[in-house]
Structures are given as C-alpha cells and as structure tokens.
Amino acid sequence: MKKEFKIFIDFDGTITTTDVGENIFLKFGNEEQVKRIIEDLLSEKISSKECWLSLCESVYQINKNELDSFIDDIKIDPGFKEFIGFCKKNEMAHFILSDGFDYYIKRILEKDELSDIKYYSNKLQIINNKLIPSFPHHDIDFPSSANCKRNHIINNSADEEYTVFIGDGNSDKYTVHFCDFIFAKNDLLKYCEKERISYYPFKDFNDIQNIMMKLLSKKRLKKRYQAELKRREAYIQE
C-alpha cells in the first residue's frame, strides 16, 4: 500500500533565507520599537496577532514601490524549487503555512515561478500608505501564530496519512505536536529539544529531500504516537 504524505512548510526563514516579515518592520519601522514588540511576543507577553497589529502601527507611512523593491531582493533557499519538484514527482501534497502576510508571499512565489503552491497566511493591504493587516485564520486558542497552522493541518490531512512539518520558529511550536515527521532548525529545533519531540535537524531543503527519500523507501513507517492521538482528538472536535 502506498504511503500518503502531506507536507506543510513554514515560509519566513524556512523557504526564504531571512525572516521577511520581521525585516520589513526593521527596515520601515522604528527599529528599537520593533525589537521590543518582537521580544514581547517571544516572551509570551503578547500573542502573534497583537504583535502584528503593533508592528503595523509602528510603520507610520509606507511607500509601496520601496516595499516592493525590498521584497524583490529577498532570496529563497536554493534547494526549495527542486524539493517542490520532488514532492510533485512523488505525488505528495504540499502547503505553505505562514504566520506572515500574503502580500510578500504571493510576490516572492511569483518571482520564483512557484505561484501554483497553495498557501495559508495572514493578509496585508496598503491603504493610504498604511499597512492594514487582517487575520482570516486566527484561532484564539493558539496564540503563537495569528494564522492557526494546527487547524490547516487538521483540515488538510486524514488519519491514515503521514504529516510532515518543516519550520524554524516561534509560530511553529504548537503545530509540531500534531505532526509525525518534523524538520526543525533555529528556535523550533530548541523547542523540540526542550519538549522532547523527535525531529530531523536541517540546514536546507537538500537535507530534507534526502531524508524524505529514505522515508519513502521504507517498507514500514511508524507515526508519532502523541501526534496521532492529538490529531484524532482534533478530528473528533471538528
């Protein structure tokens, strides 16, 4: 019987080589204020949604052309496009789950000819030179991501499928509890270590592709027991 994998991928700092959202606000906002807001998020004084609202308010005026030019300079992981080809070849459904904004995700994916990838994110508009965010996928029970990644995993996977999550940061930490195979770096790696969640460390998408090839070739794969339980509970609640 063929193994069915669902691949869920963080965007900022995972697909891109830098944290796009954070760097936009450091560039166009008050750097000291921005760092203080982000620190409040990381210390759990505020939720991700509160963080984004405060960051958008910290940018008093934005020039759309300057913002677009800044976004166009953002680089993606050199192995990401090949990894997406690998997913397609092996019929593995893949989704981007981002706590960032559609404004720059759409632009970056189009620039790199990857606009066919389905993604879920927060929304951002520029109105009267102001950044106006909205959060269509917010769930108050999961404050570390204004776009509830856990819900997207539940809604886009089934009990018999193997869920794979690839990420690097704070917005991913509750999500990994629901996934069978986790690829982690940076803050997410530290979180997995602390919570004793099994994971594969990675530097780039070439690392991930090599490990996924091995997982595909195995005759038998075990799901992560705690993740399976959590998903089943969530399926029942849905």
Indicate whether 146 belongs to any domain. yes
pLDDT interval class at 158 (50, 70, 90): confident
Report the alpha-carbon distance of residue 114 to residue 107 in Å, rounded.
10
| pLDDT tens digit sequence for 58-97 | 999 999 999 999 999 999 999 999 999 999 999 999 999 9
Least confident piece of the model among 48-52, 109-113, 145-149, 159-163: 159-163
Indicate whether 171 belongs to any domain. yes
Report the alpha-carbon distance of residue 18 to residue 24 in Å, rounded.
11
Q: Which two tokens stand for residue 222?
A: 């075990």
**Average pLDDT, integer, range 127-154:** 96
Indicate whether 85 belongs to any domain. yes
pLDDT of residue 237: 73
pLDDT of residue 238: 64
Measured CA angle at 101 (ends 116, 52), to 5 deg: 165
Per the structure, the count of domains in the chain is: 1
**How are beta strands 130-134 and 118-127 bridged, if at all?**
antiparallel
| pLDDT tens digit sequence for 213-222 | 999 998 888 8
Indicate whether 73 belongs to any domain. no
Indicate whether 184 belongs to any domain. yes
Q: Considering the chain, what percentage of its residues have pLDDT values greater than 90?
A: 87
- Where do we find the tokens 């029942």? 236
pLDDT interval class at 20 (50, 70, 90): very high
Indicate whether 196 belongs to any domain. yes
Indicate whether 147 belongs to any domain. yes
Indicate whether 28 belongs to any domain. no
Domain that holds residue 144: 5-17+78-122+139-237
Contact 209, 83 (CB under 8 A): yes
**Which CATH number is 144's domain given?**
3.40.50.1000
| pLDDT higher than threshold 90 for residue 148 | yes
| pLDDT tens digit sequence for 33-60 | 999 999 999 999 999 999 999 999 999 9
Of 222, 202, 198, nearest in space to 9 by CA: 202
Q: Which two tokens stand for residue 196?
A: 């004793």
